[in-house]
Structure formats: C-alpha cells, structure tokens
Amino acid sequence: MSYQLTIELSEDIGRELESRFTSPQQLTSLMSGLVRIYLRKEQLQDMLGLMAEIDESAEPRPMPRFGSGRHLGIHLSADFDEPLDDFAEYMQ
C-alpha cells in the first residue's frame, strides 16, 4: 500500500530543499518526519482538549489514615508473625 502526498511550498523553501537534499530518499525521509510531527501535534491538541474538560473544581480525596479500614472487619490470625515453614531453608 502506498500513499501520495502533495505539498505546496514557496519557491524559496523549494530551492532550499533542493540544495540541501541530493536524493529523493532524503527528501522523502524529511517529509515523512514532518508528517509524523504534524500528526503528533494533532494528538497533543486532542489530549490538551481532554485535559481541559477535567473538572478541576472537584475536591481531592483525603489521604487514608492509619486505622481507617477498621470497619472492614479484617482480622489476622494469632500466628501471623510466626515464621513460615516454606521459607525455613532460607532462614538458616
């Protein structure tokens, strides 16, 4: 699959490009780079638009504090801190 892109440039810029690039491959490489930059610019503008839509007036969530999950009813067994038999060979 191939695409053809036509770009109109002023005579000054056209002459400058012709003098700097000796092969069509060099010019093609430059143009493909410029197209990639343009597309990334479009993506960046879309991202900036999305970020502008985020409601900045919303209050930030408070930082959780120690003990704030007590209402969850999680209890640890009495031997929680005891060494595990599975790791006995590493603890010698």
> To the nearest 10°, the Cα dihedral for 25, 29, 35, 37?
-170
Q: What angle do CA 17, 20, 21 make, to 5 degrees?
A: 80
Mind listing the pLDDT tens digit for each residue in 22-33?
777 887 787 778
Mind listing the pLDDT tens digit for each residue in 2-29?
666 677 778 887 787 777 777 778 877 8
Mind listing the pLDDT tens digit for each residue in 51-79?
777 766 667 778 888 888 888 888 888 99
